[in-house]
Amino acid sequence: MVDGMLSGDWRVDFLDKCPYHHHLANKKMKLQLLPIALGFLLYALPVTAQLDRNDPLFLELKRQDSIFFERGFNRCDVDYLAGHVASDLRFYHDQSGFQDRERFLENTEQYICSNSNKKPIRRIDTSSLQVFPLYDAGQLYAVLQTGIHHFYLREWGKEDKWSSTAKFAHIWVLKQGVWILSEVISYDHRDPPLESQSQGNLPESTGSPDQMAF
């Protein structure tokens, strides 16, 4: 990481608990969870072929991802977030371990939403999105959504600083017409290239925060 890229020592506490970013403690042990969890999502579930990018369900889940993270993560609408994650949420992270619903919400409030002057922001690489519908006796009940997302630090009066990139796999369950986030795997966290650590050097396919709501 370039010296001065992120001012202060905000990462000491934030990266230790943040649901989406990374820390380095106990890394070897926690990485062992990922093959098991990812294997469960990709092989144990009855996953059909990925949807065409123009399919209505693909577009619906693309919008769901957009709204969920823009409201719940970028704008810190904690009530919305709490209403759209499952009561038995299971969150696996390659560098910060396992989180249930309670810990996930607590960490989001404390480490994502506690300081508006130094705010983590999430943006997605829309070209990376894939959606796989899950059926039970011909009835759609959930989807597996995978992709790549990027994280930034937003400070007042400064350009956003690209801080990390990761892959994700989400299970969205359809409950009474509402998509609820049920299972999360966040993995392969990496620092950005040294020459691309500002908003002016975003990955080509990544949208702006305003675009993320659509």
**Domain CATH code at residue 54:** 3.10.450.50
Domain-embedded: residue 110: yes
pLDDT for 49 equals 80
Domain-embedded: residue 144: yes
Four-residue CA torsion sign, 67, 93, 177, 112: negative
Domain-embedded: residue 2: no
Query: Looking at the whole model, is its pTM more than 0.85?
Result: no
Domain-embedded: residue 4: no
What average pLDDT does this structure show over 180-196? 90
23: left (phi > 0), else alpha (psi -120 to 50), else beta?
beta
Report whether pLDDT(205) > 50.
no
Strand, helix or coil for residue 93: strand
Separation between Cα atoms, residue 175 and residue 133, nearest integer Å? 15
Strand, helix or coil for residue 148: strand
**Contact (Cβ atoms closer than 8 angstroms) between residue 57 and residue 67:** no
Four-residue CA torsion sign, 130, 93, 107, 196: negative
**Contact (Cβ atoms closer than 8 angstroms) between residue 119 and residue 142:** no
Domain-embedded: residue 5: no
Domain span including residue 18: 10-213
What average pLDDT does this structure show over 63-90? 97
pLDDT tens track for 125-180: 999 999 999 999 999 999 999 999 999 999 988 999 999 999 999 999 999 999 99
Domain-embedded: residue 193: yes
161: left (phi > 0), else alpha (psi -120 to 50), else beta?
beta
What average pLDDT does this structure show over 35-59? 72
Domain count, the chain: 1
pLDDT band at 18 (very low <50, low <70, confident <90, very high): low
**Contact (Cβ atoms closer than 8 angstroms) between residue 7 and residue 79:** no
Backbone phi, then psi, for 133, in 5-degree steps? -75, 150
Which residues have C-beta within 8 Å of that of residue 36, sequence separation ≥ 6?
Answer: none
Determine what percent of the chain is predicted with pLDDT higher than 90.
63
pLDDT band at 63 (very low <50, low <70, confident <90, very high): very high
Domain-embedded: residue 1: no
pLDDT for 9 equals 43
Report whether pLDDT(16) > 80.
no
Domain-embedded: residue 187: yes
